[in-house]
Amino acid sequence: MPVWLREYSWRQTGSVVYLSLPLRGLRVSPANIFCTDQYLKVSVPPFLFEAFLYASVDDTNSTAKIGNGIIFFTLYKKEVAMWDSLTLANASKEKLQYLRQNAVLKAQKKAKEETEAKKVTKQEHKKYALEATMKLEEAERKRIEDLKEKERQKVTKELELWKKQQKEAEKQNRVQKEGKLHQEVQQFNEKKNGKTNTSRIPNEGTSNTRLKPTKGHGSYSMFSENLKDEQLPAPRSAATIKTNFTSRVFPTPLRESRIAEEEEWLHKQAEARRTVNADLSELEDLKEEEKNPDWLKDKGNKMFATGNYLAAVNAYNLAIRLNNKLPLLYLNRAACHLKLRNLHKAIEDSSKALELLTPPVSDNKSARVKAYVRRGTAFCQLELYTEGLQDYEAALKIDPKNEAIGKDAEKIRCLIQGTTQDS
């Protein structure tokens, strides 16, 4: 039973009520104070102070200061008036119960509205941050495109300049070849007319060479072949780059993995698979599919889904006899024991599953969360709330984004602290 606090002092003006509540020797926090427009409560177990106010106050602007063993309340009235007393006098129990329930509902509604408002504000902030990020990315993309365009223009200009230089070099080369060709033709004609010197007669090996004039020109083909030469850039060199990737069993990158723990987990899994093929001389009367632990596990799951928990336990028992190294068998059997209220057996199976789910790796994350939650549930049903809270907090540490586990852990914490309210 709570110890009611009756000692307090108060004074008022037309718009404000000042209330002093002495709590000597007690440690008080804002969580111990609950206030609505017409209801005030201070709960520091086992002490309790409760006041149904004479009229409505503005609970949003009202304040409470804690210090030197005293809580000093400043309550702003919604309507300017002088109160006959601080609390309602001669009110029936039914009315007080109604006011208490109405205060709780108002507080819940207000908390929900504040949560929604925070959610909307958070979404707006995310939207603004996303828009700002998109603008930055767009500006960066535009900057990169501008750099690419400038580089493209630069390369284009250099290519055009190179082509121009090649054309000029080709033109000069052609002029030089044509001049040389004209000189050789002139010398040939002089030789033919007997005006050339005897020293310019060609050698015997080349005397029978026939020179044919090209079409439309006075030059010969042996000289025109040189005009077809073109100066082209050398081709680019080609190469092949070979890339090798390290094979990985787990999805995490190698630099983020704990190799020793993962190898230990894989070794345990391989050992568990090998036990399936062990000596089954004691179970010769079973059907072929009944000697398969995976088939028995699936059968147990179907029995559990239909509510036949005893049959599911029998299926899991036989599967464990065939292979006692599979943690999911103990985990599923723990769920059946919870339904059958075999709480101590549920704790044993959950603990055995956690023992087999070592080392902790990403592959067994979900199973470890279920094992902690089921063992914590069994502890709580045995009214061992401290042990249950420890398991729920361990599950939250593995999966901190699980809202359902977080809410259950908060309920257990309230039960331990004694601040839970009757539903």
Q: Between these two residues, 419 and 407, which has the higher pLDDT value?
A: 407
Query: Is pLDDT at 108 greater than 70 in this prediction?
Result: yes
Look at residue 80 and tell me whether its pLDDT is greater than 60: yes
58 pLDDT more than 80: yes
Residue 276 is predicted with a pLDDT of 52
Q: Give residue 191's pLDDT band: very low, low, confident or very high (50, 70, 90).
A: confident
Three-state DSSP at 145 gives: helix
- For all residues of the chain together, what is the average pLDDT? 81
Residues β-bridged to residue 75: 17
- Look up residue 311 and give its two tokens: 């049959």
Q: Highest-confidence range of 15-24, 89-98, 150-159, by mean pLDDT?
A: 150-159
The predicted model gives 84-93 an average pLDDT of 81
Length of the chain: 423
- List the strands of the sheet with 39-44, edge to edge: 3-4, 47-52, 39-44, 33-35
Q: Report the range of poorest mean pLDDT among 55-69, 141-155, 217-231, 340-354.
A: 217-231
Q: Which amino acid is at 35?
A: C
The string of pLDDT tens digits covering residues 310-322 is 999 998 998 888 8
Burial of 212 per CB tally in 10 Å (0-12, 13-18, 19+): exposed
Q: What is the DSSP string of 201-241?
A: SPPGGGTTPPP-BPTTSSSBHHHHGGGG----PPPPP----
pLDDT of residue 406: 92
Amino acid at 254: L
Report all structural domains of the chain as residue ranges with CATH numbers, in order of start. 3-90 (2.60.40.790), 180-200+211-227 (no CATH), 258-276+285-417 (1.25.40.10)
Tokens of 389: 């809270």
H or E element that contains 70 = strand 70-76
CA 226 to chain centre: 71
**Portion of the chain with pLDDT greater than 70, in percent:** 82
272, 326 Cβ separation under 8 angstroms: yes
Query: How far apart are the C-alpha atoms of 285 and 417, rounded to whole Å?
Result: 56
How many Å apart are CA 370 and CA 331, to the nearest integer?
A: 8
Q: How far is CA 207 from the centre of its chain?
A: 90
**DSSP structural state of residue 62:** -
**Contact present, 308 and 317 (Cβ < 8 Å):** no
The least confident of 127-141, 157-171, 195-209 is: 195-209
Best CA proximity match to 364, nearest among 330, 338, 341: 330
Q: Is the pTM above the cut of 0.75?
A: no
211 pLDDT higher than 60: no
For residue 195, pLDDT over 90 is answered with no
Q: What is the mean pLDDT of residues 265-272?
A: 74
CA distance 356 to 266: 12
Cα(296)–Cα(194) distance, integer angstroms: 117
- Span 126-135, mean pLDDT? 89
Which are the contacts of 398, defined by CB distance < 8 A and separation ≥ 6?
A: 360, 365, 368, 369, 372
The full DSSP string for 152-170 is HHHHHHHHHHHHHHHHHHH
For residue 37, is pLDDT > 80? yes
Strands (E), 205-345: none
User: Is residue 137 over pLDDT 50?
Assistant: yes
- For residues 236-262, give the mean pLDDT: 71
For residue 178, the model assigns a pLDDT of 87
pLDDT score at 205? 44
- Residue 37 CB neighbour total at 10 angstroms: 17
Q: Is 39 helix (H, G, I), strand (E, B) or coil?
A: strand
Predicted confidence band at 204 (pLDDT cuts at 50, 70, 90)? very low
- SS3 at position 35: strand
Sheet containing 63-67: order of strands: 9-12, 16-22, 70-76, 63-67
Report which of residues 208 and 360 the model is more confident about: 360
The Cα 131–Cα 135 span in angstroms is: 6
Is pLDDT of 222 > 60?
Answer: no
3-34: pLDDT as tens digits: 777 888 899 998 999 988 888 777 888 888 88
